[in-house]
Structure 1
Amino acid sequence: MQASARPASPLSPLRRGLGAALLLASPFFPLLPARAALDAFGQPVAGAWPGKVATEAELRADIGADRAYHDALASRARPTLDAFGGLPGSGAKLGLAANGFFHTEKKGNRWLLVDPLGNAYFHLGVCGVAIGDTYTVTKGREGDFAWLPPADGADRYPSAWREGNPGVFSFYLANEIRKFDHPHDPAEFEVRMIDWLRQWGFNAIGAFSPLPPAVQAQAMPYVAHLPLDPGTAGIPALPGIPGAWDPFEAANRERIDRSFAKSVAARRDDPLLVGWFLANEPLYEDLPKVIPALKADHACKRELVAFLREKYGTLAAFNAAWGMAAPSFDALGDTALPASTRAAFDDLHAFTGRFEEAYYRLVAETFHRYDSRHLLLGSRFQPGTINDEQLCRIAGKYVDVMSFNYYTDAVDGDLLKRIAGWAGKPLLLSEFYWASDADSGLSGGRSVSSQRERGLAYRNYVEQAAALGCVVGVEWFQLIDEAASGRWFEGPGGERANCGLLGVTGRPYKEALAPMIETNDAIYAVWLDGKKPFAFDNPRFSTAGGDTKTTTAPRATGPVRVDGTTKNWPGIPPEIVPASRLVQGVVVNGQTFAATFKLCWDDANLYLLADVTDPTPMRNGYGQKGAALWLGDGLEIFLGTEEVGAGGPLRFTDRHLLVGATGPGKAAVHFAGRTAEQQTPVEAVVVPGGSGCTIEAAIPWAALGLASPPRPGIEFRFDLGVNDSADGRNRRAQLMWNGTDKNSGDRTRWGRLKLLP
């Protein structure tokens, strides 16, 4: 599931950055009901789908079935690859260097990743080649499971319990034990999985994978993570920004040096190591919100105060620019600084660049003291982070590859080329997947309607990206489905997505894998030889036909009451947001989800009235949690009043308004990405209707940063998203009038709104 906002990529930030405390009773993965929600094989009791296991005999029979399946794959016609998975002869043909390690080269307008033998290598990785996410917490909720072995291990399942974590169990491992009739053998598991990955056409072990000796023995390329987290390096995170730490703190410089001397230097000579990730989804876009609120005991806050003192010189000049009445510059250290003026916004943007420069320079210089042979693979940014020219230009000076956790349906080539151009470096699309709830029994993720559609989505994504010339690899998340009762380290509300290439019973998703294998086999023809990339014939997966639509808002004919009626509204036909404008999720067969809307205005407000056709209307349980309103039924309104002709990241005055259909009566509203102090009251109502509901909102011009009413003829950037939830806690589908599900972090695809007299 992905919001159109930066709450924009919920599965991604939740994955490893927020911690279990935030994930208990997570809205993305609701708590399972008590009483035997899972069967003895760890599958949801409810539902039936092809491949659901009923007996141990079926598991044992899978040994022969798996062997036959992979033997057939091994005999197929496929390209010959070199020892690292690169294309033999391509180095000589393209004039590439062989230096014994992975590196990048640019030939003409095309970026290339080059393997140690000097051949072109398109990185086809799988994250999480491990069993970690198959563990789930059983202690204290034993009634949720139809079967559990004795917790003391007095049977054949002791190796299915997580060592050092009592009450944490893996049904995947239990099924493996049933199948092979012996305890889990990590080395045997790794050898088998690496063999299967190669049969499926993958050529690398991706992020979040342990690296046992089997990886070296099987000579599979892999990636690693720099030891920059509290657990490995003792570096404290900045409060409120997972994955970020203070580069101005002298003690952190010493910690990094000690950590790299121990861990980085040890792998300096390994040719199988593609490179090192610096971080996972650090939310640097939150730096301008978090650092000003810190106390002076944080070095970055002291650095910010010094920056402001240097820029303004006098306290009077600073107070005038920031709209403050600070008694002294020294007092700013322990004062929360509000960014309520454009000057403050610009200053914090500039200081964020100073922070990022210090961070990347420190990491790169320290890294190269201990390893000058391997690649720095970037920070696995989310869309809302990476769509920032300043950040990309700074990071691009120090990393070799920009990694991007790009969860999307339609591949936006313009966006990817823009990022690569800003950074001057190639891209690795380092995390993505699709899930099919209907034939896996799991929930969560970017849903499609079948396992085959998962594979077709992969084909579309990988081939469209490879054809751009700026993408040098991808990493699918992940090898095995997450536990159906929630990943263990996030508690009962943890992720439980059908993200795997294998299910909990160890069965490969063959319907998904078939299209994936086609793409993996064809990747060099697409990447190097100009073969036309596969295009999924589904409008959700295409950016074609993305013309910019313009709607109009006439002036109201009289006073407008926000009551869901059109009294004193001009007599204009509504705009239509049809079911075909689905940009996120799935719509249940036989149900209709669509909307119409119209706009008008007066000197006080812009009015929007939407009629939503929804078989399960007004289901939104986030009335008290405004920032999460997008998870339930409601609207997302996007408005931009400046630089109307420019796309890219959001501007200072852009607004993203969430209107939650929390029930009949007053609607809940929230401006996304703005602090509590920056929220502006918006009157909005929800009125039940025959096939759904009507939602009306009056948005004050002042809330859009306009000091006076606009003039007729003026144009704004505008878009409207419509969200659908079946349970009030999880968004099931999203429609968008003109743009995409990336609207919250990128205004490029927003439409236009013109005010009429």
Structure 2
Amino acid sequence: MPQESRRQFIKGSLALSAGFALSPISHLTASEMAPTTQTNSRGFFTLGKRKDRWFLITPGGEPFFSTGLNHIDPASLRYPENICIWRDTYGGSTLRWIKESVAPNLKEWGFNTVGWVQEVSVRQWRHSRAFTVDEYRALDMPYCHSLPFTESHQWEKHTVHYDFRSKDWQDWCEYVARDQCAELADDPNLIGYFYSDCPTWVHNLPENEWRGPIFDPEMLKTEAGKKELTEIATAYYKTIHDTIRRYDKHHLLLGDRYENYQPISMEVVNAALPYVDVLSFQDFNNPIKNLDDWHKKTGKPVLLADSAKIKWHTEPGEFTPNDGTWYADTLEALFQNPGCIGFHLCGAYQRNKARRYGLLDELENPDTEQVDPMKAANLKIAQQIESQF
């Protein structure tokens, strides 16, 4: 990366592209870099420590705390009542929408990362598609990407479980890595890869009770059952690790986004530890305490990959705001956790009629009452990094 481009990348990441000029931060020393699953991290995001706390490290070698927004889907601008905006303002182009709406707004609001883009399409249905490589290039800012190895999400009610020890599973992982990781392998803006969203390892919800959990939790009452789950989970994480690394040696492995208010088996987490770089969680209950507990329990850096304070049970046509004050308080507390490397807000970017909340309404008007405290909180973290690290 040319020196001037690298300097602008770092300043944009830390100043959050909100018009604040922050001075460059000293690079980490070699002793402060941390071991990861990456076989070549030079010029890419990695992990390191500064003053006994974990950070993401930018391609330029600077500490980076990820403040991200999730769920960014252009279909929310294609309802009959607002499709004129899509056509007249953006010429029906997703690339234009990303360049002219998404990226400028996220930077203005102080978010320095796109956590993951897939959005609720219909309740209890699959999420929308991820961005393409060209759409990520149009975004031109740090992002994480979800890989569709398994659809065992707690909200997904249609897909059977894979046998993680089968040849079919290995072949599917190979295809996903060949299809997606090979395209993204050289992108310095990519932070890393997520896997399943809230996988039902030892729990299920009423919507997917028909298929049950991946592993029967009753079997964990025996040593034989614990051993079998360890073997299954090890096959899952090792296969994913090995297939990604065949096509991408550069980017971090962020693992599954575990659901913190459902049971999480230590057999699963322990099986993951050698094959992921970060433990990632969804938590709408008590993320500050829970992420602190997980970091202390495992020693791994932790990421709050999906969380928000909103009204869950809304009726069709009813919308609810995302609580900006809660976001600011949570972000500040998470930054005090020496193991936490970021917080990604369960957005969404623009509300739709399935999720029913977002930072923009259907006519692209921002919810300034909630966005303003988010912006101030994001800037405060950037300033703290500059002054302290």
TM-score by length of 2: 0.76
Q: Which residue of 1 aligns with 2:272?
A: 395
Among 348, 364, 371, which residue is 2:248 paired with?
371
* Partner-residue secondary structure (3-state), 2:137: helix
Q: Could you tell me which residue of structure 1 aligns to residue 288 of structure 2? A: 412
Change (3 A) 1:343 1:442: closer
Quick one: distance in 2 between partners of 1:363 and 1:112?
A: 24
Whether the 8 Å CA contact 1:435–1:497 is kept in 2: the answer is no
**Pairwise CA distance, 1:100:** 0.3
Matched, 1:511 2:369: yes
CA 1:343 to 1:188, structure 2 compared with 1: closer, same or farther past 3 Å? Answer: closer
Distance in 1 between the 2:247 and 2:345 partners? 30
Distance 1:244 1:384 in 2: 22
Measured in 2, the distance between the counterparts of 1:186 and 1:123 equals 25
1:173 and 2:173 aligned: no
Q: Cα 1:242–1:345, aligned 2, differ >3 Å: closer, same or farther? A: farther
1:376-416 Cα distance to aligned partner (Å, 9 max, x none): 111111014574433322212110111111213x5433x21
Note if contact 1:463-1:526 (Cα within 8 Å) is conserved in structure 2: no
- Structure 2 counterpart of 1:92, from 5, 27, 32: 27
- Where structure 1 has 5 or more consecutive residues not aligned to the other structure, the ranges are 1-79, 136-159, 161-168, 288-292, 295-299, 302-336, 488-495, 532-757
In 1, Cα distance between equivalents of 2:330 and 2:371: 14
| Equivalent residue letter for 2:194 | F
Would the alpha carbon gap of residues 407 and 471 (structure 1) be closer, same or farther in structure 2, given more than 3 Å must change?
same
Q: CA deviation at 1:131?
A: 2.2
The aligned residue for residue 203 of structure 1 is: 112
Find the aligned partners of 2:160 and 2:13 in 1 and give their Cα distance.
32
CA distance in 1 between counterparts of 2:91 and 2:103 reads: 20
Residue equivalent to 1:221: 142
Residue from 368, 380, 389 that aligns with 1:522: 380
In 1, the alpha carbon distance for the partners of 2:366 and 2:43 equals 35
Aligned residue type for 2:374: M
Alignment-mate amino acid for residue 188 of structure 1: R
Cα distance, 1:374–1:123 mapped onto 2, change above 3 Å: same
Mark the CA change 1:86 to 1:114 in structure 2 (over 3 Å): closer, same or farther.
farther
Q: Provide closer, same or farther for how the CA distance between residues 390 and 186 of structure 1 changes in structure 2, counting only shifts above 3 A.
A: same
Selected match of 1:283 from 200, 204, 208? 200
Question: Which amino acid in the other structure matches residue 145 of structure 2?
Answer: A
Paired with 2:263 and 2:217, the residues of 1 have a C-alpha distance of 24
1:205, distance to aligned residue in structure 2 (A) = 1.9
* Residue equivalent to 2:68: 125
Structure 2 residue 307 is matched with structure 1 residue 432: yes
| Contact map agreement 1:360 1:395 (CA 8 A) in 2 | yes
**CA 1:187 to 1:344, structure 2 compared with 1: closer, same or farther past 3 Å?**
closer
Partner of 2:230: 353
Q: Which residue of 1 aligns with 2:184?
A: 267
The one-letter code sitting in structure 2 at the alignment partner of 1:501 is L
Give SS of 1:276's match: strand
Aligned to 1:725: none
Cα 1:481–1:182 shift into 2, 3 Å: closer
Residues in 1 aligned to 2:82 and 2:369: alpha-carbon distance in whole angstroms: 20
After superposition, give the CA deviation of every residue in 1:414-440 in whole Å (9 maximum; x if it has no partner). x21221233332111111223369xx9
Is the 1:111–1:469 Cα contact (8 Å) retained in structure 2?
yes
Q: Which secondary structure state, in structure 1, belongs to the residue aligned with residue 295 of structure 2?
A: helix
Hey, what's the Cα distance between the residues in 2 that align with 1:338 and 1:384?
16
Would you say the 8 A contact 1:110–1:469 is kept in 2?
yes
Report the CA distance shift for 1:441/1:505 in structure 2 as closer, same or farther (over 3 A).
Answer: farther
Find 2:95's aligned residue among 187, 193, 199: 187
RMSD, aligned CA: 3.8
| Paired amino acid for 1:85 | S
Question: Counterpart of 1:216 in 2: which secondary structure?
Answer: helix
Letter in 2 for 1:228: F
Q: CA deviation at 1:243?
A: 8.6
1:59-101 CA deviation, whole Å, 9 max, x = no partner?
A: xxxxxxxxxxxxxxxxxxxxx9725504764342666568200
1:352 positional shift: 1.7
**Aligned partners of 1:242 and 1:282 also within 8 Å:** no
Question: Which aligned pairs between 1:189-588 and structure 2 lie closer than 5 A?
Answer: 189-192=97-100, 193-207=102-116, 208=118, 209-211=130-132, 213=134, 215-229=136-150, 245-286=162-203, 339=218, 344-385=221-262, 387-408=264-285, 410-413=286-289, 415-435=290-310, 443=318, 454-484=323-353, 487=354, 496-498=355-357, 500-526=358-384
Partners of 2:332 and 2:362 in 1: CA distance: 29
Cα distance per residue 1:220-256 (max 9 Å; x no partner): 11111224147xxxx9x9x989695321112221232
Q: Which has the higher contact order (CA 8 A, sep 6+)?
A: 2
Q: Secondary structure at the match of 2:341?
A: strand
- Larger-Rg structure: 1
Which secondary structure state, in structure 1, belongs to the residue aligned with residue 243 of structure 2?
helix
Determine the C-alpha separation between the residues in 1 that align with 2:188 and 2:112.
14
Q: How does 1:95-106 map to 2 (within 5 A)?
A: 99-106=42-49
Q: Deviations over 1:194-223 (max 9, x none)?
A: 011111111122212524635424521111
- Residue 522 of structure 1: CA displacement? 0.8
Closer/same/farther in 2, CA of residues 366 and 188 from structure 1, 3 Å limit: closer
Whether the aligned pair in 1 keeps the contact of 2:203 and 2:217 (CA below 8 Å) is no
Query: For the residues of structure 1 that align with 2:28 and 2:73, how far apart are their CA atoms?
Result: 37
Q: Which moved more, 1:203-212 or 1:466-475?
A: 203-212
Q: Which amino acid aligns with 2:69?
A: V
Aligned counterparts, 1:659-698, within 5 A? none
Deviations 1:347-370, CA, capped at 9 Å, x for gaps: 433322221111111111222122
Percent identity reads 21
Q: Which secondary structure does the structure 2 equivalent of 1:279 belong to? A: strand
Q: Which amino acid aligns with 2:197?
A: N
Identify, as 1 or 2, the structure richer in helix: 2
Query: Secondary structure in 2 aligned to 1:362?
Result: helix
Deviations 1:170-217 (A, max 9, x none): 54434555xx46753322211122011111111122212524635424
1:120 corresponds to which letter in structure 2? Answer: P
Q: Secondary structure at the match of 1:431?
A: strand
